[in-house]
Structure 1
Amino acid sequence: MYRPAGLSDEESNSDDDYGFYETPRNKYKISNNYENSRKKIENRLQDAIINGNLKEVEKIVALDLNNDANLKLDSGWTALMHACFHAQKKIVEFLLEKGADPNLHADSMTPVMAACSNNSGSDDIIHDIVSGLIEHDCLLNIGDRYGQTPLMRAVSSGRASVVDLILSKHVNIEMRDRQGWTALFWAVHHNQAKILQILISQGARLTEVDMSGRTVMDIAQSHEYPQIIEILNQHLKADNIDEEFLGTDVSDLTTWQDYYPGIVSDERPKYTSEIRHLLYGMNCERLNSLMMQNNVDLKTFLLLEENDMIKLGIEMPYERQRLKYGIRSFHLKGWKMNTVAGLHIQRSDNYSLQDCLATLGSHLQQLYILEATIQYLLRDYCKIQNQIKFEPPDSPIINKMQTAANKLLANINCIRREITIMKGFHTKISKNNPKPADLIKEKTTKELAMGYLTDAVVICSLGFLVYHARTYITSFLRK
């Protein structure tokens, strides 16, 4: 394009009121000036926050940030993050009132993490700041780019009151960072004895290992913290899961009845000792003592729902979620035919007494679990059936449910066939064995007793177990 007549290219000034011929500015200079301006604003804001100058902060937010309390500055931090990090309670309250987002983060760092990282402010101020952020729905079950949560940062800073506050909000105490450390590891690493006691009292697990295979005791011993080591030793001895839950060690079980609690008193076995193994697989083994206190048997455990868990005292939502997911996975797991069938698949008529006892005991436990699974499925089926009532006739959900129902019936029929086989096998054994004796006394002559005692106990035990197996199967089929 060419300039109009009378204007030269050298002329820098123009009377053009519309800006058609304005000389373009250097975009790089504009960008630099803008960045420098942002840096100056952040420096002024940070100085005002450090000095606790609320009026200056209000002025900067109003004039320089255009009342946008969520504007990210040059560093990526917001004004709220700066105020939390420097423990300025009044400025934090002002920014929250202006609509500052407590979950707006910079490089995975949130305001509550910044507050929990402060090492210089008073405990009361940090506690009040974190409490205010929680009231504005800040996230607590979240980690930064290293996996560190607000709880871990509060532990590292030695903020016992803040740790208590965060734990009262039902956070996941077992969350791990990138090196596999939980909050308990950080308490040990920073020699925080008081916080260590708090975490243990809230059920933090003492036997976990990090990505390098180290336990909290290994960390304590490497730092040579005698008080921490003493606390850990004390709780590790008191928290012996096997002794607490079973009451006896496996090596103390001397008779076959000890493996099937309740069978001696003519009751159904409750298989309570199996619960601890399931809890361990669900990362909820700290609930062992709670199940014991409430006398929960295996069937009750496998049918737990949300309301049941709350009544038992399981307050943490993440633990209830783990239990629900774990129980559902247990019921949905398939059974192999060899697992259910037992001795009859061996196609042999010669079975040792040990084989018979083991198979009968397995059948009792399998029937017990199958009964719980059927109740679990029927309960869910009824819930879904109630939902289907509101579906239109041509809904694809109805077709899916019909297909699922047919599969469910097929599985139930398979279970019935296996139960029939079990019943026939138990009947065959019971006809060839006498009813169990209530009491077996030793002979007065020790030599005679040693010769016959073993065979008598095994035969009577076999008959006793068959008797209970038949009773259990008969009641199961009647249902």
Structure 2
Amino acid sequence: MAGRPAGFSDGESDDDEFGVYEAPASLPNLRVRPPINPLPQTQVIKKSDVDLEDFRIATMKGNLQSVKLYVENGVSVSQVLRSGWTALMYSVSCGRWQITEYLLDNKANPNFHKELFTPLMAACASSHEVEDDLVKCVELLISHGANVNATERHKVTPLMFACKEKRLKIVQTLLKRNEINIDLQDHHGWSALMWAADKGDGAIVRALLEHGEKGADTHLMSSSGQKAVDVALIAGHKDVAALLDLTLKPQESPAPAPPPSTDSIATVTELETVLMGLDLTCLLPIFYEHKMNYDSFLLMDDGDLDRMGISQVGYRTRLLNAVKEIHTKEWERGSLPAIQYSKYLSCPEATALVGNLAIHGRYMLASVAYLRDQIQRRPRILQLGMETASVHALSAQTQYAIKQISELQSQLKFLKLYLDKVQDKAEFVPADLITERNGYRDKRDRSFWRRPWGRYIVMAVVAFTGGLVLWSTPSRFLQHSTAVLLVA
């Protein structure tokens, strides 16, 4: 997808290309399991004998009778099942609206979340074939207080999920809510309108444009500087782009959403997301009071927690373990944008790619500072685990990192030199023709001999000199010519 750099991988999986949550892998594979027969009404299930996996499958299969028996015999409707989902999340994802209604009537939490992913998002992101079933589930969730403006860890809303899955009826259902904010943007600056434009769904685009008095904002820009019309054009949806272009009105230089590499609201959002994942949002006011952002969070230690007045052992342990995990977690391929070599990059895509490199550089800088601080405070850690990695190995890895970053710096300098040279020109030249200003190639290209008029001057001087010599010694030249003729 165009113009979307993948951000820092803080526990994200390789499906992080555009911040879309994937349902648990076990969800679609229902056919491989034997059908579950309804339990006899007279059968009493002991709580200790309850198989939660059977309860989960009964929910997914739509076996209301079995679900009721499990609940009546002690299984909580809020029981966390496989993959961290509740029965409500499984029921709405499978379009089982009867079970959804039963669970909600029995006080199932419509705003429960698994890593900020809610039941309403599960319904909107579902691949269930019958959309009407999903619409009923959405209506039930909303009627029981589901938050239509909730955002998951990538700031994607239920409306964005519905636009991505091209669910027109669900979109229309969500738009009926007065409190819905259709212009929210995810962590790449994409709005619901941009998601719909990327999918080329004209009906959803029109529904968003016609919502309320003003409709969706067509002037919103992503972090890479794209409007919805640009997204549609890059995706090849010319009809949708034409529709969006008609709604654009002249406006004074709209500013793009802040790129992820700046220390702005995006940084605060990263900190907020981490604390939400740790279930420590209660500490946000303390972090803001001490002007802590995500960069300073990555360098946090016991001393910082003491200064902030966070004394609870459980809180401190969770925070410090999270900092360590962020620094030591292996980078995943999904944290970098996948470049399709069969296509040319656009300027917004190139901007996004370099922006992604910049934010990775910021995290690397924080990790090196964290490592130095750890070693300087507790040098003894260099003696731990010597049987698997020694200080010599650490030094060698550090030297290798210096080499790689030095090469990266050289490549970036060369790119910057080229961009500075072509940025104000109408026609750009290939990058392999750009050389250092004082390089050998540059001197050769400007040499006297390589210019046509230079060669003409040299030839004229030679001819003039030869003529002058002949004119000054005519007798000797005639004698020599006569001798040559006689010999011939």
Q: Same fold (TM over 0.5)?
A: no
Q: TM-score, normalised by structure 2?
A: 0.40
Greater fraction helix: 1
